[in-house]
């Protein structure tokens, strides 16, 4: 496992509040959300391959989510 290092950010209070609500709903931490987002950034300048919408979505799902997890979620969601 890679070593972890602390990072301090200055973010608008409303964004922080929204991030707290989002992280609680998705059973994750703000640190993990930021980490997933940053991990999805490309150093090779290939960000232009993705539309702005797709770029905003990168890093939202934890990396340990499998296709089977997704299928179970969709099945539960639409069987209500």
One-character DSSP codes across 10-78:
---HHHHHHHHHHHHHTT--HHHHHHHHHHT--SSS-GGGS-HHHHHHTT-S-TT--HHHHHHHHHHHH
Is the per-residue pLDDT at 8 higher than 60?
A: yes
Is the per-residue pLDDT at 1 higher than 80?
A: no
Contact 60, 36 (CB under 8 A): yes
Between residues 68 and 80, which one has the greater pLDDT? 68
Is the per-residue pLDDT at 70 higher than 60?
A: yes
Between residues 47 and 80, which one has the greater pLDDT? 80
Q: Residues 42-51: pLDDT tens digits?
A: 665 655 677 7
pLDDT band at 66 (very low <50, low <70, confident <90, very high): confident
Nearest to 35 by CA among 71, 72, 1: 1
Reading phi first (left if > 0) and then psi (alpha if -120 to 50, else beta), residue 44 is in alpha
- pTM for this one? 0.52
């Amino acid at each position: 496992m890679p070593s972890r290092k602390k990072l301090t950010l200055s973010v608008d209070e409303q964004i922080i509040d929204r991030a707290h609500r989002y992280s609680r709903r998705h059973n994750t931490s703000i640190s993990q959300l930021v980490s997933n987002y940053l991990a999805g950034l490309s150093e090779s300048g290939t960000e232009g391959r993705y539309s702005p919408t797709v770029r905003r979505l990168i890093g939202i799902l934890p990396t340990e989510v499998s296709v089977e997890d997704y299928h179970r979620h969709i099945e539960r969601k639409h069987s209500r």
